[in-house]
Amino acid sequence: MSAENEIADSSSSGSEMEQDTPLKHKSGFKGEGDDIMPNLPPIVKKRVKALKKLLVSQTDVDTKFYTELHVLECKYHKEYLAYYNKRSDIVQGNYEPTEEECDFPSDEEDDVKDLSTDMEGKVKLEESKVNDGIVDSTSDKLKGIPDFWLTILKNTSLISDMIQPHDEPILSHLTDIKVYLLEEPMGFALEFHFSLMNGLPILY
């Protein structure tokens, strides 16, 4: 092989090696994970540190925002209680809403169709029990909205997947869910109310 060919081969190999070797962007903000900072010029590193410090300072504002937001939630939660209590009375059959209170757009409308269809099925099931003589229509067993909370939970995307078939008989006895907002320390508590199951209280 001639010297010229050796030089050409050497040049070609060097070119291929350069193509196979990843380029290091020492002058730009590129890379992944821990590989970014070491490859940055000192002046850029200082600016990145300034951004980190700025972000930490921003969390102080976030803390103040969520603290004030929680106080506001606690304030209006007290005004919601009257609505929650009335809802509970209707669901449990302790209060029968008036015709005026029932004057609401048809359940066939799209915005409530899915939930109302499921709820309607529950009511029809209870009505069929009455018609078949399984439940005495003159008794107080058919009152309120049957399986209200079970239906709500099964139609809530964050919860529905967690409900297993063996949970449903218990959740069908769920009569109310109450929420209590705690001002200090910030937080909330949920209180679940169940009716008797086979004459016995449900322990949870």
pLDDT in tens, 41-86: 889 989 989 999 999 999 999 999 999 999 999 999 999 999 999 9
Q: Nearest 5°: phi and psi at 203?
A: -95, 135
Confidence of residue 105 (pLDDT cuts 50, 70, 90): confident
Nearest-angstrom CA–CA distance, 3 and 13? 15
The residue-averaged pLDDT of 99-111 equals 76
Coil, strand or helix at 110: helix
The most confident of the ranges 10-14, 83-87, 123-127, 194-198 is 83-87
pLDDT in tens, 12-24: 444 444 444 444 4
What is the overall mean pLDDT for the chain?
Answer: 77
pLDDT the model gives residue 8:
47
